Structures are given as C-alpha cells and as structure tokens.
Amino acid sequence: GDAWLAETTLGRVLFNDLLPPDYPFVNEILPKKRQAMIINDLAERYSMTEVAQVLDRLKDAGFYWATRSGVTMAISDVVVPPNKQQILDGYEVKADQVNKRYQRGALSHQERNDEMVKIWNQASEEVARAMEANFPEDNPIPTIVKSGAAGNMTQVRQLAGMRGLVANPKGEYIPRPIKSNFREGLSVLEYFISTHGTRKGLADTALRTADSGYLTRRLVDVSQDVIVREVDCGTERSITMPVTEETADGTLIPHRYIRTSIYARCSAEEVRSPDGEVIVEKGGDLGDPALEALVAAGVRQIKVRSALTCMSGTGICGMCYGRSMATGKLVDVGEAVGIVAAQSIGEPGTQLTMRTFHTGGVAGDDITTGLPRVTELFEARVPKGKAPIADVDGRISIEDGERFWKITLTPDDGSEEIVYEKLSKRQWLAMTVVDGSERPLADGDHVHIGQLLLEGTADPHEVLRVMGPREVQLHLVREVQKVYRTQSVDIHDKHIEVIVRQMLRRVTIIDSGATEFLPGALAERSDFEVQNRRVVSEGGEPASGRPVLMGITKASLATESWLSAASFQETTRILTDAAINGKRDKLVGLKENVIIGKLIPAGTGINRYRNIQVQPTEDARTAAYALPSYDDGYYSPDVFGGGSGAAVPLDDYDFGRDYR
C-alpha cells in the first residue's frame, strides 16, 4: 500500500502489529469495549484460524507487557474535589428551604421526603462530576475504570465523591445523605445509616439469585421442545424492523438496537440500493457487512425472518432463527435453541434489580421494574399499574370527576361510543406527542388503536384482544427488552421471541366446524392448522378459534407431553389426569426423553442423523474387497507393498500354533 503519516504512540504501533496485515490501522484509545468490538469485527471478516492466531498474539502481548508494567494505587491517588464543601453548602440551603416549608405545613411528609431525595441526588451527581473533572490525566484510579479493567464510576464516587443517599430495608430512601466519602471517613451516624443499605443489598442478592434461578427453570421448561427441526419452513411471513434512525440534523445512523434486533437474522426480502444494486438477497444473512451496506444505502427498515413467524409444526426452522449466536454460522438442524434462549434470558436475571421503587405518589401505583417485571411479562399477569388502551382509532372526551377520570372514545368509523369509567386519578393521563412536543392527553384529542390512555403499562391480554397475536408478541418482546436495557444488559430479541412463541401456542376452539375439536377446548396451534387444512381440502367447514396468551408456567403444564409437565409442577394432578384420559406421550421434547432414558432428540440424537446409512464409494468398495485370500501367499510383496511399514518385520513374527 501507499505510505502515509499518522500521529500515534508506540503502544498503538505494537498493537497494530498483532492484527492481520490488511486490517485498517487502529489509532485510538482502546478500552475493553472497543477491543471487544475489534475482535467481533475480525471474527466477521476473517477465517477462524486467522482470528485464533490474532487472539493468541494479543494474549501473549498482554502477558508480556503486563509483566513489565502496571499501575499502583495509594491513598493519595484518591483525590477529593476541592470545591466539594462549596457544592454541598449550596444544596444545604435548598434543603433548609424545603424543611421550612414542611414546618409551615405547606408540604406533606411524603412531599418533603420526595423533595429531599431529589435535592440530594442532584448534589451527589454534581459532586461526582466535579470529582471526575478534578482527577489528573495520569491518575491510576480513573485509568483502571476507563480501561474496563475493574470497577465502575459509582464505586469511585464513594471513594472520592460522596456516598449519597442509601435505602432502608423497605426500599425507601433515608432522606439524610451521607456527605462523606471513604477517603475522608464516615461519622458514626453515617456509618450506621450506610450499614442499612449494605445489609439490604446482601439480602437482596441472595433472594434475587433464587428468583432468577426459578425464572430460568420455568423458561427452560416452556421452551425445551423448541429444537431446530428443518433448515427452512418456507414461510412468506416476516416482521419489519428498523435499520436506521434519524439524528436531529437529519443524517441517518444505525438504529441504536441494531445489534440486538436485526443482526444475525435472515432477511425476508431482497433489498436494493437506490441505483438498483442488490445489497441483501432474500434469505441472506444480516451480518456486519450487510448491515453496513444497508445503513450506507439509507435503508430505513427491513423485513426479517423471525421465530414469531416460523411455520414449522414442531420446533423451529433454521432460517427463521437465523445465526447461532455462539458460532456465527446459520444454526444447525438439531440445535436446542429453546434451552439456549431460556439460559440467555435467565442468566442476566441476577443482575436485574429487585427493588420496586417506592418514590411515593408518582404515577399512583408502584411501577414494577427489574426481575419482578420480567416475571410479570412472561407469566402474562395483569400488570401492576395497569392502564387502559384505546380499542379503536377515534376522538376522546375526558370528564374530570372528584376521584376518577371518565374517558369516552368516539370511533372514527361512526360505530358505538366506548366508555372507560372509574379510572383512578392516582394515575396521570398518558402523554401524547403533538407537533413535536409532549403533553398529556386532553379533551378532543385523536388517539390511535392500542394507545395508552393513562400512564402505566398495558395488559398483554388487552393488547391481544384489541391488536391481535402478532402485536402482543412484539409488545412482550419490547417490554422485556426495556427492563434488560435499563440495566444495560444486551440480549438478542430472537431469544425472547422463542419464549414468546411458546406462550401463544394454543388456540381456544370457538366453533368446531367439521373437525374433531370440541368447542371451548384448547388445541395446539400446529394441530389446529393441520386439521383445518385437511377439512378444507375435503370441502368441509374449518374450525374457528381464538389465540390464547398463556404464562410460561401455565404453558409448561398445558404441554402435550404429560411426562414433561409432571416433572415440572403439580405432579399428582397431571399424572392422575393423564391416567384417566389414557394419554400418550409422543416424546418430542428433551425432558420426556431424559426421563425414560432415551437419546435426546437434539444434536446428533435427532432422527435425521440417527438413521443415516453410509454407502461406500466404488473405490472404497474395491479397496475393501481386495483383501488377500489364502492362496495369494501371505508375504508376497503385492499384498503388503515393498516396505510394509509394519512395526515388527512380519517374517520374524510367530503366528502361534493352533493345538486343537
């Protein structure tokens, strides 16, 4: 290539020496996250062996330089910002004003506490900002954090900033902040207050581990029979996902969730650039190169294959699942993707907070967050702080009662008005965006179907009734992702989709038509579709049914396999029920096969790999049958070849006598 000049450092030159020779020169600071990005990029663009060699070189270089250099830390490296006291004095004044208003009776106890929490949180933030700005460039403490080696800024805050507010065992903030940090040392009272939070933290962690483990177990149980059964189910269905988003100045940048939504899937449509060139084939893999091309071509959204739209009778097909997140290749037939999904969702569960925030009075009920919210969604429960959704497009009129709102919705199509009564005023009116600015819903506003009318969360069963099965699936995926993203945990959508697909596997039969179903019975969706196709092809009347949303526990217990259900929960009831009905188990999932000690139908145990017969080629066959007969003379050179390569010269070998 051409020579070019760049201002860089010795370390960066040495680092670039380790990368493949044709990789662009990396000239920037490399914290842990950035290194991971480079390695992912290498894995996308180079062969396995090349990547493995690069990683080996990086590891060796890491050991080499870490042996010869490092950072040390002393107490004097913990630098407290000089203007800390000044900042705190400013907030002390604000806190005094709030206290005075409280003593005059202008504020309730709850309001005072909320105000105090707000004030001291701001103080904490400001001290933290001052602290970060005050650290010298070469200070080891921020270096360790920024490089991603250990710790995070919240821990450094407690060392050099201020500890801030701590929670009591009930999860409420104690309105007296801890103004000292560990460098200055805590007073006796501060130390006592801080022990509250510490003990609660430890107790919470223990509970959370148990809760998260139980969630994983239920997820495994509901998805254990989702195994890749075929390469392509041939469906034409797909879901649309955003590729890019617009910044304030109108430039298109990759969508912020592109890595966890579109990446590693198969495209369901052919995408062409504005000049007609094909960027992505139909069924093409959406890896980094494809996504970069899509963003460059200004594509806003793309139709992708998804677990939600897969038509496979049992399990799922490879194309709808896309790439395996482990290998970066299209998933193999026989891969137990249900188990992978359950563990990918359950494992980070321990990182999710347990706290239901008691900030008091905000939006009425406590909004559930963290692990309890994930459980609430997967169990399809009516959420805490449930808010009504608009059943149709139309205009609303709001009547403001003493304790309740009454909202009347007049549909656009002129059908009957829908009245939502007795809506508690503890929940505020939902926000709506009008001409680019947010404001609460007002009398005479136009709402669209499925829009929330009050602040809060929608009930998934309502979403199913109003918007249909596809929308409720997407709603559940979005809501689960919301929880994980607030804790900055990245899980790919496809894992959540595999679970959600299992929650909508059943149909309630409304009218049996010419099929053998009974009205009111629950049928497997695949079974329902097969029977309907058969009946229609025979010229009969198909059954009609309504999709049912089931929580994961209920879905596991309602599975076709009674062995699997009995090994999960309510064993006695399930076994008696199975015995009375003379049920048969087709052994399609993993658990039922483990229970009876059969090979599991995943990996190489799947049927299509079990009955393979190897047909030898002509050459192999002639070679196999060209063995010497007795008359050929054992030692003639044409049998063993000139130098036989035998370890023992065969002439000296005694074959032993047969003394029969």
Residue-number span of the structural domain to which 577 is assigned: 504-610
CB-based contact 151:145 (threshold 8 Å): yes
- Residue 627: the pLDDT is 61
CATH of the domain at 434: 2.40.50
* DSSP assigned state of 651: G
CATH of the domain at 547: 1.10.150.390
CA distance 213 to 225: 20
My answer on whether 440 and 587 are in the same domain is no
Question: Is 658 domain-assigned?
Answer: no
pLDDT over threshold 50, residue 120 = yes
My answer on whether 541 and 596 are in the same domain is yes
- Residue 628: the pLDDT is 57
CA distance 521 to 524: 10
- Residue 577: the pLDDT is 92
Question: Is 139 domain-assigned?
Answer: yes
- Residue 345: the pLDDT is 92
CATH of the domain at 356: 1.10.1790
With residues binned 3-state (H G I as helix, E B as strand, rest as coil), the percentages for the chain, rounded to 5, are 45, 15, 45
Mean of all residue pLDDT scores within the chain: 86
My answer on whether 360 and 449 are in the same domain is no
pLDDT over threshold 50, residue 364 = no
- The pLDDT confidence band at residue 579, using thresholds 50, 70 and 90, is very high
CA distance 113 to 614: 76
For 517-533, what is the mean pLDDT? 90
My answer on whether 147 and 296 are in the same domain is no
For 559-581, what is the mean pLDDT? 90
- Residue 341: the pLDDT is 94
Question: Is 659 domain-assigned?
Answer: no
For 252-272, what is the mean pLDDT? 91
Please tell me which residue, 554 or 206, carries the higher pLDDT value: 554
Per-residue pLDDT tens over the stretch 277-286: 899 999 899 9
For 562-574, what is the mean pLDDT? 90
Per-residue pLDDT tens over the stretch 213-254: 899 999 999 999 899 999 999 899 999 999 999 888 888 889
CB burial of residue 229 (10 Å; 0-12, 13-18, 19+) = buried
- The pLDDT confidence band at residue 362, using thresholds 50, 70 and 90, is very low
For 477-490, what is the mean pLDDT? 89
Contacts of 612 (CB under 8 A, 6+ apart): none
Task: Fill in the amino acid letter for 546.
Answer: R
Please tell me which residue, 487 or 8, carries the higher pLDDT value: 8
Please tell me which residue, 615 or 281, carries the higher pLDDT value: 281
Per-residue pLDDT tens over the stretch 53-104: 999 999 999 999 999 988 888 999 999 999 999 999 999 999 999 999 999 9
Give percent of the chain with pLDDT exceeding 70: 92
Question: Is 28 domain-assigned?
Answer: no
My answer on whether 559 and 599 are in the same domain is yes
CB-based contact 559:592 (threshold 8 Å): no
Q: How far is CA 331 from CA 317, 468, 603, in A?
A: 9, 30, 11
For 177-185, what is the mean pLDDT? 90
- Residue 652: the pLDDT is 52
My answer on whether 271 and 313 are in the same domain is yes
CA distance 315 to 333: 11
Give the range among 259-263, 325-329, 350-354, 500-504 with minimum mean pLDDT. 350-354
Per-residue pLDDT tens over the stretch 137-174: 889 998 898 888 888 888 888 888 888 888 777 777 88
Please tell me which residue, 204 or 645, carries the higher pLDDT value: 204
Question: Is 190 domain-assigned?
Answer: no
- The pLDDT confidence band at residue 638, using thresholds 50, 70 and 90, is low
My answer on whether 299 and 262 are in the same domain is yes
At 580, which helix (H) or strand (E)?
helix 571-581
For 574-581, what is the mean pLDDT? 93
- Residue 580: the pLDDT is 96
My answer on whether 40 and 105 are in the same domain is no
CB-based contact 217:553 (threshold 8 Å): no
Question: Is 576 domain-assigned?
Answer: yes
Q: Tokens 């496809």: give the residue.
A: 494
- Residue 2: the pLDDT is 74
Residue 509: half-sphere exposure toward Cβ, Cα within 13 Å = 21
Contacts of 40 (CB under 8 A, 6+ apart): 288
State the CB neighbour count (10 A cutoff) for residue 105: 7
My answer on whether 498 and 508 are in the same domain is no
My answer on whether 129 and 268 are in the same domain is no
CATH of the domain at 317: 3.90.105.10
At 271, which helix (H) or strand (E)?
strand 271-272
My answer on whether 472 and 411 are in the same domain is no
CB-based contact 450:470 (threshold 8 Å): no
Question: Is 219 domain-assigned?
Answer: yes
Q: 621-642 in b/e burial notation, b at 16+ Cβ within 10 A?
A: eeeeeeeeeeeeeeeeeeeeee
CATH of the domain at 159: 1.10.132.30
At 473, which helix (H) or strand (E)?
helix 469-486
CA distance 359 to 170: 12
pLDDT over threshold 90, residue 4 = no
- Total count of domains within the chain: 7
- Residue 360: the pLDDT is 38
Question: Is 3 domain-assigned?
Answer: no
Give percent of the chain with pLDDT exceeding 90: 39
Q: 262-297 in b/e burial notation, b at 16+ Cβ within 10 A?
A: bbbbbbbbebeeeeeeebbeeebbbbeebbeebbeb
CA distance 517 to 511: 9
My answer on whether 141 and 97 are in the same domain is yes
> The pTM is what?
0.78
Find the length of the chain.
Answer: 660
Q: Tokens 């137990």: give the residue.
A: 336
Determine if residue 48 is left, alpha or beta; phi over 0 gives left, psi from -120 to 50 gives alpha, anything else beta.
alpha
